[in-house]
A and B are shown apart, each in its own frame.
Chain A
Amino acid sequence: MNAENGTLVEVKKLRKYFPIRRGIVIQRQVGAIKAVDGVTFDILRGETLGLVGETGCGKTTVGRTILQLYEPTGGEITFDGVNLSDLEGGDLRRIRSRMQMIFQDPYASLNPRMTVGSIIGAPLDVHGVPDGQSKHDRIQDMLELVGLSAYFVNRYPHEFSGGQRQRIGIARALALNPDLVICDEPISSLDVSIQAQVVNLLEELQDRLGLTYLFIAHDLSMVRHISDRMAVMYLGKIVELTDRDEIYLNPLHPYTQALMSAVPVPDPDVAAQRQRVILEGDIPSPADPPKGCNFNTRCPVATDICFVEDPEYLEVEKGHWVACHLVKPEGIEATPH
């Protein structure tokens, strides 16, 4: 971790609601999907922050809102000291070139009608790099950087396998030399042996180029592998945020504990021994979250207050943030192990 280098991204009380509209011609808003509902965290320069959670927890929305692909409903995003909501037009575009994204589906994220060269060149075009030898060289360099042959520039995406396509996606994201790369489930649609290739490549690129990653995924062990610190999201909120070892050794939120115990371990001895917390029921709809703590419908240790009051997101130990009524800053009460 390079904490001394300071904070690159600061997210404060970020909210993103998607309106639900009804009506044929004149549409009225009848509700909202609270995809992200008050999320606060920061990303330090040069680190990897993991964001883990299950389907519909809002982790993808967080990533896209930071990139300004969605307009936030509330809250603040600061990138390198600049509040993004203050920016417009050219300034926004310039700062945007310093944040890039790697997408989940390597089949859907590359335009099938464009050559690899023009896919990687697109961000260069948009940000005013003129056609010519230097642009051409840059594209070839990017291909080689991600472990593909420069000779592939004129090929089409369908000629490549999933893992190779993901490399093309990474090359596109890195073409503009960004500071921050948001990796949105970059490996979850790849085969196991290819996942490791891509993760190793991402780690190697981070070392070489000094990148900062926001690594979003549902696979807890993979997120823990690549991250320096990690945040666990549930139904639009961060329930726990701490560094990678702390979250394994000392998970405080009951959801983190359950999630940790649900991760399958590729070791029959460990699997036979460990105690599992099996959560009952399903994740509630983000259009209609429960009153009180979001997790109260499935929490094995919920008490009365959990059904009434939303727990505050507090720093209970140095660098360890938890949102749970049962976890208090002064000490730890009622940890269900």
Chain B
Amino acid sequence: MSEWNPEDLDSVDFAVREHRSLWVDAWRRLISNRTARLGMAIVALFVLSAVLAHYFWDYDPRTDLDYSLKLKPPNLVATEEVASIHPFGTDKLGRDIFRRVVHGGWNSLRVGLVAVGISLSVGGLLGLIAGFFENITPSKAERVFLLGAIGLALGALASWIADQTLQMFLFAGIGIFAALREDLLEGRFMRTVLFGLLGLIVGAGLGMMASPYVAIVTGVLGLLTGVVLGLPIRGQLVTTIIMRAMDILLAFPTYLLAIAIVAFLGPGLEKGMIAIGVVGIPIYARLVRSTVISVVQKEYILAAQATGEGHGRIIFRHILPNTLSPVIVQTTMGLASAILSAAALGFLGLGAIPPEPEWGAILGASYRYLASGAWWAVTFPGLAIMLSVLGFNLLGDGLRDALDPKLQI
């Protein structure tokens, strides 16, 4: 113990904890967790094999076909009957299942990443806006942006029905006008009437160009949109609109909604990604909103406002870094469920288009041969799905424990 003078009030700096950043702490906790390590190993195996196979092991599914090797069981040494080695056996077209499973991994990884990317970016942005403005009054410029965006989003429906892009931009214009002229008939019923009428004119008027029936539908939609845009804009209004829209999305069963979207867009791996991504939006929106709300109510946000920091700075310096932990956990878990959803779509023939290798599609094409004893044709792709989902979930659980602020002393 070093000598110091106890009279010296300024010497409060002798006992500080060891210097490490929160992320280093979290990493340390993560690698000390056995299940998280297992999860990491599985995920690493899956990612590495998929990436390496994609770049260094050429595979053209369209030319991969050999009826002489149809439904051969797994072999690890070449025999007279089967000259080549097939550790996972072959399928009904004589294709090597090992090779297809490994290449299928690349597709699953892609679907997972892109779908989660869509859910996270759209859902995260919506959740951020909803959570932030629920507690903090938007500035004038922000109100213009928000009402414009709401007009654009609500107008999009009418726009789509009437097949006129112009409509949604006109609604966005009404929104911007409403935000700029907040003083117009403020607090009076006439304001609602005025903006309702404006919406009706835009909706019905443009709708007439398509057909009178369309005009009726878009007119009603326009009226409602106009009424909403005419409301006194407060943060809570924005939150309400966003979160009720998310509730509507959540009201559909996940897979049914994904299937409906694919049915609408047409099958294909890319369409599947979009469908799974859209279905995931409300999950991230809710998560980010609730996290943002808990951060916004912290005193350091008040402290930032007290020093005069602007909204952008508060969001990027204070809010986003503090919402990362739950988002990282949810993203990891989300990858697992996106892979699972992709496999389900593939199994139903709505995801990857044959002969493109994809785990669900491989399963879907082979399960009929189970009865004739070809267990390997379903076991290995099934195992791949199960293991990768397990790996991401274990890693997600480990991350949750590692990042949980309750454990931070």
Question: Do A and B contact each other directly (Cβ–Cβ < 8 Å)?
Answer: yes
* A residues apposed to B, CB below 8 Å: 21, 24-27, 64, 67, 69, 93, 96-97, 100-101, 103-105, 108-114, 122-123, 126-127, 147-149, 152, 155-156, 158-161, 163-164, 167, 169, 172, 176, 197, 200-201
Give Cα A148 to B21, complex, Å: 19
Is the CB–CB distance between B308 and A93 below 8 Å?
yes
- Check A109/B303 contact, CB under 8 A, given A155-B19, A164-B12: yes
Give Cα A111 to B234, complex, Å: 27
Is the CB–CB distance between A25 and B318 below 8 Å?
no
Is the CB–CB distance between A123 and B308 below 8 Å?
yes
CB distance from B41 to the nearest CB of A (A): 29
B234 (CB) vs chain A CBs: closest residue: A27
Binding site secondary structure of chain A: loop
Task: Report B-chain residues with C-beta under 8 Å of the C-beta of A147.
Answer: 9-13
Is the CB–CB distance between A103 and B304 below 8 Å?
no
Across the interface, A104 reaches (CB within 8 A) one of B241, B244, B299, B322, namely B299
Judged by a CB distance under 8 angstroms, whether B49 is at the interface is no
Judged by a CB distance under 8 angstroms, whether B15 is at the interface is yes
Q: Which 4 A-B pairs have the closest CB atoms?
A: A109-B299, A113-B321, A123-B307, A147-B10
B: interface residue count bin = 35 or more
A123 (CB) vs chain B CBs: closest residue: B307
Is the CB–CB distance between B240 and A24 below 8 Å?
yes
Across the interface, A108 reaches (CB within 8 A) one of B12, B240, B300, namely B300
CB distance from A27 to the nearest CB of B (A): 6
What would be 22 A-B contacts, judged by CB atoms less than 8 Å apart?
A21-B236, A27-B237, A64-B302, A69-B302, A93-B308, A100-B307, A101-B306, A103-B303, A104-B299, A109-B298, A111-B317, A114-B317, A114-B321, A126-B313, A147-B10, A148-B12, A158-B409, A159-B18, A167-B12, A172-B307, A176-B307, A200-B9
Is the CB–CB distance between B307 and A159 below 8 Å?
no
Across the interface, A159 reaches (CB within 8 A) one of B16, B302, B306, B310, namely B16
Is the CB–CB distance between B299 and A156 below 8 Å?
no
A159 (CB) vs chain B CBs: closest residue: B17
Is the CB–CB distance between B299 and A158 below 8 Å?
no
Give Cα A158 to B16, complex, Å: 10
Task: Report A-chain residues with C-beta under 8 Å of the C-beta of B309.
Answer: 122, 126
Is the CB–CB distance between A108 and B298 below 8 Å?
yes
Is the CB–CB distance between B9 and A201 below 8 Å?
yes
Is the CB–CB distance between B303 and A172 below 8 Å?
yes
Give Cα A160 to B18, complex, Å: 10
Judged by a CB distance under 8 angstroms, whether B305 is at the interface is yes
Across the interface, B22 reaches (CB within 8 A) one of A110, A113, A163, namely A113
Across the interface, A112 reaches (CB within 8 A) one of B15, B236, B322, namely B322
A96 (CB) vs chain B CBs: closest residue: B308
- Check A127/B303 contact, CB under 8 A, given A111-B318, A158-B22, A197-B12: no
CB distance from B318 to the nearest CB of A (A): 5
CB distance from B235 to the nearest CB of A (A): 11
Give Cα A100 to B305, complex, Å: 10
Other than the given A69-B305, A160-B17, 4 more pairs (CB < 8 A) read: A101-B306, A147-B12, A148-B13, A164-B13
Give Cα A67 to B308, complex, Å: 10
Give Cα A221 to B205, complex, Å: 72
Judged by a CB distance under 8 angstroms, whether B372 is at the interface is no
Is the CB–CB distance between A159 and B240 below 8 Å?
no
B1-51 interface with A by 8 A CB criterion: 9-13, 15-22
